[in-house]
């Protein structure tokens, strides 16, 4: 009978150890994120446009699915518009939307011809 108790005690310790290891493994998988590859860090990109006569300015591009109303620029007292966005590293095409009219960035001469007969400006982050 004593022998059975020792075996039960030993197997109880083994079971407890296995349960603890299993719980630790589940915790690492769920909460630590150690098994997930890190995303590439986004970087700041600032867009500026001088348009003192404008009432609203937005930037649209490949980074926001070309939505002309998502990323507004803010105007300063001199008529300079600006906004800073966090973008994935790489090349992005964009244009400004000034009072609902699409504009090129006059300060950026790096362009790509589109199928619509215009050019998109290129920013490399």
The residue ranges of DSSP E strands in 3-105, in sequence order, are 43-50, 57-61, 71-72, 74-75, 80-87, 91-98, 101-103
pLDDT at position 99: 98
Query: What's the pLDDT score for residue 8?
Result: 37
Select the more confidently predicted residue: 99 or 4.
99
74 and 85 Cβ atoms separated by less than 8 Å:
no
| Number of residues that make up the chain | 125
Which of the listed CATH numbers 2.40.128.20, 3.30.460.20, 1.10.3720.10, 2.60.40.10 matches domain 43-124? 2.60.40.10
Comparing 15-19, 31-35, 85-89, which segment has the lowest mean pLDDT? 15-19
The structure's pTM equals 0.68
Both structure tokens of 3: 């022998």
Q: How confident is the model at residue 6 (pLDDT cuts 50, 70, 90)?
A: very low
Which residue is listed with tokens 């150690």?
34
């Amino acid at each position: 009978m004593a022998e059975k108790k020792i075996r039960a005690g030993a197997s109880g310790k083994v079971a407890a150890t296995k349960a603890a290891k299993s719980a630790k493994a589940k915790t690492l998988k769920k909460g630590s994120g150690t098994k997930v590859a890190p995303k590439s860090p986004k970087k700041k990109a600032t867009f500026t446009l001088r348009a003192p006569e404008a009432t609203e300015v937005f930037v649209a591009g490949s980074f926001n699915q070309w939505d002309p109303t998502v990323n507004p620029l803010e105007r300063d007292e001199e008529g300079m518009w600006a906004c800073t966005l966090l973008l994935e590293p790489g090349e992005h095409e964009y244009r400004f939307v000034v009072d609902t009219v699409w504009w090129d960035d006059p300060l950026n001469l790096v362009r790509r011809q589109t199928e619509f007969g215009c050019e998109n400006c290129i920013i490399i982050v």
